[in-house]
Structure 1
């Protein structure tokens, strides 16, 4: 299979596990990513809220060959490698990057984690404390707090409207039986994809995949399905008071019926970049350069399954909340009718394509992209293909995609030193007149 890089290759094992290899001869390393098609959106809020992320941590606590966390870490350190993992709403990735000659070590460690993790009760209790500290860290970061507040506002009382990490109550209530049940349901060959990028050949990757994962059998297992209701929403304005803050952190956003496989997702990503993706973007210019109202301004489009979120973040002084909101509201109101200019489109398209070109030169970013694309069978399997797809988007496609924002309610999340009633009054007055 060709993607402009002639030796890009992917296959599916008889047990249903998919794998892909992207040789990068100009580097000395290789990154191996195991992607699991399960994340926070696959949870049940009343049953196991936060379990996907909790389990991600526990996979590093030891298996059969490396029974202790330190042994897992030492196996990677001794060959000069690095490892980590992350959980999102739709997927969880585990990765190891090593000098290319140690590819087998990366597979060895990852297979022991995926297939042999013992998850001892004492490790679960210890990691429970770690995750509670992680929650503290998130709550100390107002940008994280406001981002999740907007998710709740946009998507309401469902996993997509909650935090990926869970809450203190849900983490304290998590038990080993529930964690093991979640693993049994979601971690099996049909729900995983392995992606390798680096100075490796497809033949070498095929050999390692077959060696370490070819014998893993789970005939009864099916691919996981997330629990996402694209029509569900929360309250339009969500205000959180934090007296320890000097700055107000606000996000406005809309949900749109455009998911990861929708052809309109790329045009909306270009539009988001034009509005707040760089120093030359419209919102950055209007809010920071013209008026000096903020230091950081950013806009993004995040696509999930069958639904996406078009959102903008601004950090500003409390006295500027009304003015910033007024600017953002007026700009959003004109998007469906006027869209973006052709000059904005051309600049954003080239800049966004360039980001993917930069991403394609690192093994870790390439393997992560490849793993997610393989899990969800996306058309753009590699960063190179994504770049080509971006460059193929036309101005009319962006303008047409922006019509999806017409009639969509603008939601606001605000974390500030103001009291909640004060913040709500400013927001309501500005947004509703």
Structure 2
């Protein structure tokens, strides 16, 4: 049987070559429909969703001794079954969708129940987020921010080149794409005033990130090897870690981000599996100095994954691209982040979400936040119709898209979108 990543595979469901969701992808998500409101799990294929709960109930997918796994409202029970089951199930779904397999293709009654138009379903948060950690792993981003606030000679803090820097965020405010984001409130203290005030954030920003979905747990007290950490990663999502720059500026000393990052983190509804991204693995940047032994990696743990950010302000006829970059630039890989996270003895859980940190590249058009793009407000972004932005305003819509380009197909993530609503 052909491997699910085989570029020559074709589905009996027509898929445009420019689609994010060919048969080589098969990302998982949680959805519901107007005529069947219960949430369950499906995969995206072209412009359709394949209802895995229906296929499991009909015996076309066998997860024994587990059962009704795809009738659940989160991916956590499926992820708990482990990498061999993940791989076997993806291969079976690929087999069912192949153009030369009559099992589903020629069963009109079953097809009418199991193949639904994506435009007619509602997508939900794809997994229960057990915990959320956000990292700071782009050297270009960290350098830009450091130059802005500390000067060129002191851009990177002394620890940055020795370990992935991160902080624990809030799992409770991770939301699915399309959820409106209310402008946060907090303490504000500009440099030119003596005492803080409380009110709506005035310098609201996005952060272009990828999210790593942890599908297997680790025990408290144990460290992880590179092989173990890689095997624990179920897949990836697009992630926007909304940031209140002015609240953060006042609160982050001495313990780091808190309320400025706690109000919303948006993720895409489709989880693209690590296996689907396998053909696009690349080596990351050279790491100098050499990391300590527990952080060293032998494999190519970065991905050649194109990323695009567009902004649409009220009154604009169409969104405008404000950033194009690539996940391959990340200095610390997702595997290194996970190894470091567990190195203290921290137990990792199924459904943990690790944010990559803002993804920027070496060029100006590759800056992954408005803080960098507008250089802290000194160089506003010029949009259509004379509109300018240094930071996000109420009514602005921000969308992130990402994809890996194959030969005649792409492995995409769809998008993560959020529109800014006024503070309550």
Shorter-chain TM-score bucket reads under 0.3
Higher helix share: 1
For normalisation by structure 2, the TM-score amounts to 0.26
TM-score (norm 1): 0.26
